[in-house]
């Protein structure tokens, strides 16, 4: 007789609040997470687009890199300009393996709270254990690598997010997109960045786990704010053209294939003062210099029929030749159209190219379209 041992799921500090709010919980990245609340995915999605949604993202990994050499050390792992990042500013990053594949995508902030070097990193929940081990192994001799499991993480997203949060912390209005700082919010000690994963204006709030429920209740008490689950978080990020690690990015995909060239600053490219010096640099820099080296690239697609097209769906040319594969796809609540991101051969990547998604054996016509599908509304000041 075989005994099946199920994985014990972890709970975030807001687990009791999710139960109180009648959330439907699902396993995600080793945690029990709310996929939706009684209002449902569609209502939660549209509320975030018009007002404010509160998301529990405490499953994600938080860590600090501390020491005078921290910025240079992190630059040895990612192809971004870390050393030139001003205090209080935030940047998107890509942790690469030695083949130039993406191990994880992340966000980092130069906090520099003691002028001795203090970088705050947020990494994906499913990758955090491996990320921390990798970073510790590669640069742990150059700076302190300090995991922060004692911290929770909340996201407040939507066009009215600043109004709601400013009632509790008026000075947050000083932040612009991709900047951050320390704030007191409803008696809680928070580090807040003006950023997010929805394409809307909003904030991500790192708060001690012991204060997370108090903070969440204070935010939910604001009239614009409603709780939003992982389901709408996924549909919002796809409309915003943002990648999901494990779907649109993985360890076999390079930044250039993923169409993330914009994230690699000139100073780290060929001819730049600090060109290369990161894992997989030869491959990545060669692809940046010569796009003809690519065999596939990420594109946006809009279906010409109202048929959802899911990840791993094959794409074919009108002549029936294999053209690529969908990496993320769903019916857009904002557009009422089926949208997707996919990897296709460069010959099929031009805007306006017609392809067929093969859904249950039948072709669904799609067209390569610009990203994002819904215009971003970040507050840039």
Q: Over the stretch 163-195, which tens digit does the pLDDT of each residue have?
A: 999 999 999 999 999 999 999 999 999 999 999
112 pLDDT tier (thresholds 50, 70, 90): confident
341 shares a domain with 283: no
Q: Is residue 381 part of a domain?
A: no
Q: Is residue 76 part of a domain?
A: yes
pLDDT of residue 5: 44
- pLDDT at residue 373 greater than cutoff 70: yes
177 shares a domain with 318: no
286 shares a domain with 332: no
pLDDT of residue 2: 44
Q: Is residue 144 part of a domain?
A: yes
**Using one digit for the tens of pLDDT, what is the confidence trace for 299-345?**
999 999 999 999 999 999 999 999 999 999 999 999 999 999 999 99
203 shares a domain with 184: yes
- First CA to last CA distance, the chain: 64
273 shares a domain with 302: no
**Using one digit for the tens of pLDDT, what is the confidence trace for 113-122?**
767 799 999 9
Between vectors from CA 51 to CA 187 and to CA 304, what angle results, nearest 5°? 140
Q: Where is the domain boundary, 275, 290, 305?
A: 290
In whole angstroms, give the CA distance from residue 11 to residue 267. Answer: 42
200 shares a domain with 95: yes
Query: What CATH number has the domain bearing residue 76?
Result: 3.30.1360.120
- Domain count for the chain, please give it: 2
In whole angstroms, give the CA distance from residue 215 to residue 190. Answer: 9
Q: Is residue 166 part of a domain?
A: yes
Domain hosting 196: range is 39-228+264-290
Q: Is residue 21 part of a domain?
A: no
77 shares a domain with 173: yes
285 shares a domain with 269: yes
Q: Where is the domain boundary, 290, 306, 341?
A: 290
- pLDDT at residue 3 greater than cutoff 50: no
Q: Is residue 13 part of a domain?
A: no
Cα 84 to Cα 80, 91, 273, 281, distances in angstroms? 10, 11, 11, 19
196 shares a domain with 56: yes
Long-range contacts of 322-330 (CB under 8 A, 24+ apart): 323/348, 323/355, 324/296, 324/348, 324/355, 326/301, 326/357, 327/247, 327/248, 327/298, 328/238, 328/244, 328/247, 328/248, 329/238, 329/301, 330/234, 330/235, 330/238
4 pLDDT tier (thresholds 50, 70, 90): very low
300 shares a domain with 282: no
171 shares a domain with 88: yes
6 pLDDT tier (thresholds 50, 70, 90): low
Nearest to 329 by CA among 344, 312, 351, 316: 312
**Using one digit for the tens of pLDDT, what is the confidence trace for 17-42?**
999 999 999 999 999 999 999 999 99
Q: Is residue 110 part of a domain?
A: yes
305 shares a domain with 197: no
> C-alpha 325: how far from its chain's center?
21
Q: Is residue 270 part of a domain?
A: yes
Give pTM, 2 decimals: 0.96
CB atoms within 10 A of CB 360: 7
């Amino acid at each position: 007789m075989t005994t099946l041992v199920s994985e014990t799921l972890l709970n975030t500090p807001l687990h009791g609040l999710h139960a109180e709010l009648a959330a439907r919980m699902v396993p995600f990245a080793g945690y029990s997470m709310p996929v939706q609340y009684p209002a449902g995915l569609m209502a939660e999605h549209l509320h975030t687009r018009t007002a404010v949604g509160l998301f529990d993202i405490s499953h994600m990994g938080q860590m600090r890199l501390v020491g005078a050499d921290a910025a240079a050390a992190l630059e040895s792992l990612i192809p971004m300009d870390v050393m030139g990042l001003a205090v209080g500013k935030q940047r998107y990053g890509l942790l690469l393996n030695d083949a130039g594949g993406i191990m994880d995508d992340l966000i980092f902030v130069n906090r520099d709270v003691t002028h001795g070097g203090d970088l705050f990193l947020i990494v994906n929940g499913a990758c955090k254990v491996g990320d921390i081990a990798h970073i510790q192994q590669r640069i742990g001799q150059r700076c302190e690598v300090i995991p922060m499991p004692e911290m929770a993480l909340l996201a407040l997203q939507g066009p009215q997010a600043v109004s709601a949060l400013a009632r509790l912390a008026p000075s947050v209005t000083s932040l612009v997109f991709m900047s951050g700082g320390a704030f007191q919010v409803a008696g809680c000690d928070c580090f807040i960045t003006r950023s997010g994963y929805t394409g809307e204006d909003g904030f991500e709030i790192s708060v001690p786990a012991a204060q997370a429920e108090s903070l969440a209740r204070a935010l939910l008490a604001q009239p614009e704010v409603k709780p939003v689950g992982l389901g709408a978080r996924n549909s919002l990020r796809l409309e915003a053209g943002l990648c999901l690690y494990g779907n649109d990015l993985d360890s076999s995909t390079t930044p250039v294939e993923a169409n993330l060239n914009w994230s690699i600053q000139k100073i780290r490219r060929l001819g730049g003062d600090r060109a290369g010096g990161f894992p997989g640099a030869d491959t990545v820099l060669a692809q940046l210099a010569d796009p003809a080296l690519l065999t596939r690239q990420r594109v946006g697609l809009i279906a010409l029929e109202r048929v959802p097209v899911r990840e791993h769906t094959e794409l074919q040319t009108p002549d029936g030749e294999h053209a690529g594969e969908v990496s993320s796809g769903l019916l857009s609540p904002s557009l009422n159209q089926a949208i997707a991101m996919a990897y296709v051969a460069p010959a099929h990547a031009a805007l306006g190219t017609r392809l067929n998604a093969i859904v249950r054996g039948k072709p669904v016509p799609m067209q390569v379209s610009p990203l994002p599908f819904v215009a971003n509304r970040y507050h840039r000041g």
